[in-house]
Each structure stands twice: as structure tokens, then as C-alpha cells.
Amino acid sequence: MMRSYLLLLFCVTCWGSNFVFGSMLVHEFPPLLLSAFRLTATSLFLLGYAWSTKRLQRLSRRDYLLLVPLGFIGTLVNQAAFFTGLQTVSATTASLVLSLAPITTALLAALFLKETFTLRMAAGSVLAIAGIFLVVGQSGGLALSRGLVYIGIAMLTFAASIIMMRRLTERIEPFIATVYSTVIGSGMVIPAALIKEPLQGSSSHLWAWALLIATAIVMQGVCGLVWNTQLRRVGAGKASVFLNLQPFVAMIVGFAFLGTPVTAVQLAGSVLIVVGVILATLKKKAKAPAPMAPGVPTA
């Protein structure tokens, strides 16, 4: 069991670091091109893994009716918004805003899947939102910058993609749904990036390309496979607690690599957010959450 916990901690550490490494890469590549390059690497890895394990399968037209919008919302819009936001928003703030995704997913599930939104969920939501106000507040109010709006869009599209993935995985295997949605999303991002952003804007530094490929394969490919495997061994309830460590990982790695200061207000806000998310999402008998597409910039 300890090995499973260590592997879950490894995944969360990678995903928390992803915010910091993304902040570094957006200064080396235009946002859409960065998304296109990373998604291409992730897609090739996932396709290679699916082919080597003989898990590729033919899908129906009905499946594609969900896969196409999932690729558009969960990959194209999500990745473009995420990396555009990281140009001006710190990795710590971005990770904290994205940590609201479980609560947002619960709200969307109540609206579209007719799931129950309980009083405990509402109380947790209030705590988490109060934490966000603490972290990004300015002079007692919310400093709603352009970058913060983009990160908010990334969080909303991530939550929406989880709802869509739930519907899709009622018919096909979660891993296959992830592979196809990532590849389809990549096919949308690549032409958009080539039209909007010139290739000449790409980095000339070898370290940037190495970091791009490594984060695409390890954080968006390998970690997803490891997480889903360990999830079945330790249970969704215990695994979900690890996910709440992402903002703290982003703070530590941001301080180490970017020199981003960690303030008492940020720590207080982080605690409120984490407690709120746990309160809103923890159940007595937790069901396994819907799988997350690798294109999504979080766990």
C-alpha cells in the first residue's frame, strides 16, 4: 500500500509542478503553439501505448458526437486558455483556481446529470471561494485580471470535460476515451496554432524543448496511466485527498524555480480552498471519479 501512496504522491508532485513548468514555457513559446507541441507529443505517446497494448478499437458515430465537442472544449479551449493565462498569472494562483474544478464539476453534475448538490457541498463551495478571494484579492476585492479570466475559463472547461467524459465512459473504456479525445483535440489545436502564431516564435533553447517533451509525456501521459492504476488499489476517496496537495506543490516548486514568494495570505487561502474542496467532495462511500484527459492541465 505504501508503494501506491508514493506513486500517487509522485503523480501529484508532477501535476503541481506542471503549473510552474508551464509558466516557464509560455515565455519560450506562444500559447497555442505550446499547446500544439505538447499535445502532439502526448498523443503520440498515448497512441503508441494503446497500440502496443492492443487496446485501440473502432468507435461508433454516436461516440464521435461526444468526442468532437470533448476535444474542442476539453483540449483546444482548455489548453489555449490555460497557457494564455499563465503568461500573466502566477503558477500558485493558477493552481489554486484550478483546484476549484471538483466543486464546479459537482455543480455541473447537479445541473446536467441531475445529481444531488448537498448542503455540505454548498458550505465547502463557500469556503473554497473565500480562499480564492484571499489569494487573488486586492484591497478587499477581487483583482479580476485578463489572465485570471483565462485561468477561470481553463477551470470551467476542465470541469465541463469531466462531465462529458462521464457520459462517454458509460459506453467505452476510459483510457480509450482519453486517447481519442486527446488526439481529436490535438487535431483542432495544431491548425489553429499554425494559423494564429508563426513557428518563428518558438524557442531556440534546447532545455525548453526538452522540458516541453518531458512534461507532455510524463505529466500528461505516464502520470495519467499510473494514477488510474493506483486509484483502483487505494480507492477514490483516499486518492482524492492527494489531489488537494497540488497548490502546495506549485507554491514550493514556484519558489524553488521562479523565486515566487509564498505569503501568509496565500497559505491561509490555500488551506481554506483545500478544506472547502474536501468538505464538498468527500463522501462516506466515494465512487471513482471520471478519468481526466491528459490534455487537461491538472491531475
3-state class (DSSP) for residue 138: strand
pLDDT of residue 283: 64
Indicate left, alpha or beta for 291 from its phi (over 0: left) and psi (-120 to 50: alpha): beta
Q: What is the pLDDT along the chain (299 residues), one digit of tens a residue?
A: 788 889 989 999 999 999 999 999 999 999 999 999 999 999 999 999 999 998 888 898 889 998 999 999 999 999 999 999 999 998 888 988 898 888 888 888 888 888 887 888 888 888 888 887 777 664 444 556 889 999 999 999 998 998 888 888 888 888 888 899 999 999 999 999 999 888 888 899 999 999 999 999 998 889 988 887 887 787 766 777 777 788 888 888 998 988 888 888 878 888 888 888 788 766 655 444 444 444 444 43
**CA distances in angstroms from 204 to 27, 40, 216, 284, listed in the order given:** 12, 19, 18, 52
Global pTM reads 0.84
pLDDT of residue 288: 43
The angle formed by the CA atoms of residues 232, 238 and 240, to the nearest 5 degrees, is 90
pLDDT of residue 236: 65
- Residue 36: exposed, middle, or buried by beta-carbon count in 10 A (0-12, 13-18, 19+)? buried
Separation between Cα atoms, residue 78 and residue 72, nearest integer Å: 8
